[in-house]
Amino acid sequence: MTTAVLVVMLVGLLALQIFLWFAGLRFGLSWVGAERITVGRLFKAALLVLLLNLAVNAVWEITPGPGALSYPAGLLIGYAISILAQWLVIAKFFRLGWLKSAIASSLPILAPIVTVLFVLLVSKPYFFEGFTPSTNSMAPTLLGEHSWQDCPVCGAPAYGSLFGDRSRRRRPVKIICDQFHVTQSYAALTEGRSDRVFFAKYLRPSRWDMVVFRPPSNPATFFVKRLVGMPGETITIKDGAVWADGKRLDPPDDLEGLEYVTKISGFRGVMWGDEDNPASLGEGEYFMLGDFSSEAFDSRLWSEGAPGRPPFAVPSSHIVGVATHVYWPPERWRIIR
């Protein structure tokens, strides 16, 4: 169902942008006195501009940009390239000089602005938003910037942290594979890029969902973790599994092999959810865990809670949405929910 909603929204936005571009160009060409303005020529011009923009966006996605280039700067560069593409296509298709082409393009240029406003005012607040994990606490299910190699146990891809300081790679790196085998590697690992994820604002979170939320200690940021504890439950982790009110929970089949830990090397604080510190959730409170349990900073380790809440609890008011699709990179594309 989420895929159908997402497809309808994306196709609708594309159709809206093409219609606005089409109508704006028709008016602009009439304004500058262009000849041979036919529906067929307008459609071909609109299609070519769309394909050029898609090509530019694809190149932008797969080409690593300079680290100092901010997102707004990249957006402006992409918009400038889009404008130049429109000028070129209009000038060639309708045999106009650059000045008349620029004038005729003035209204079509507004089409992306209208669609961006729709995304900002309607889509993002109420339907879907994009998110990029900043860590690998949800590996192998969701990946931030990472390094990888073949798992020494089963040969499946295994993922670990990507160190900015290359000298640290001489130390062992803890890795987790797609079959949830956790091992260590001393080898030089291949670098990989972050997943890009859509999450739905309109879904009600359920157990085992991957949920995007604002962590209690820093509500200005977004985390993504797996929801394992529901309001009113007492959560305990033992034997590698999650227990709710004394009953062992059975995870979905795609999490077979995943084990949660309650002992992390070097951690000296309270481990919420272990047998000595069960996590009792109140009304509207949730317990979150990362799939890469030994490397995840999640409800087990938190020391600061939301006002009036225990440290391990994520209030319902902090939940932003439910992860539904991985849309980039293409080889990682999949439907989550």
The span from the CA of 71 to the CA of 198, in Å, is: 18
List 100, 105, 194, 225, catalytic entry: 225
Give catalytic status of residue 217 as yes or no.
no
Measured in whole angstroms, how far is the alpha carbon of residue 182 from the centre of its chain? 24
Cis peptide before 311 (omega within 30 of 0): no
3-state secondary structure of 29: helix
The strand ranges marked E within the chain are 128-131, 146-150, 157-161, 173-177, 182-185, 190-192, 196-200, 210-213, 223-229, 234-238, 241-244, 247-248, 279-280, 285-289, 314-315, 319-328, 334-335
The span from the CA of 222 to the CA of 213, in Å, is: 5
The span from the CA of 195 to the CA of 159, in Å, is: 13
List 137, 147, 161, 299, catalytic entry: 137
Pick the closest to residue 298 from 234, 205, 243, 226 (CA basis).
Answer: 226
Give catalytic status of residue 263 as yes or no.
no
The span from the CA of 78 to the CA of 75, in Å, is: 5
Which residues are tagged catalytic? 137, 225
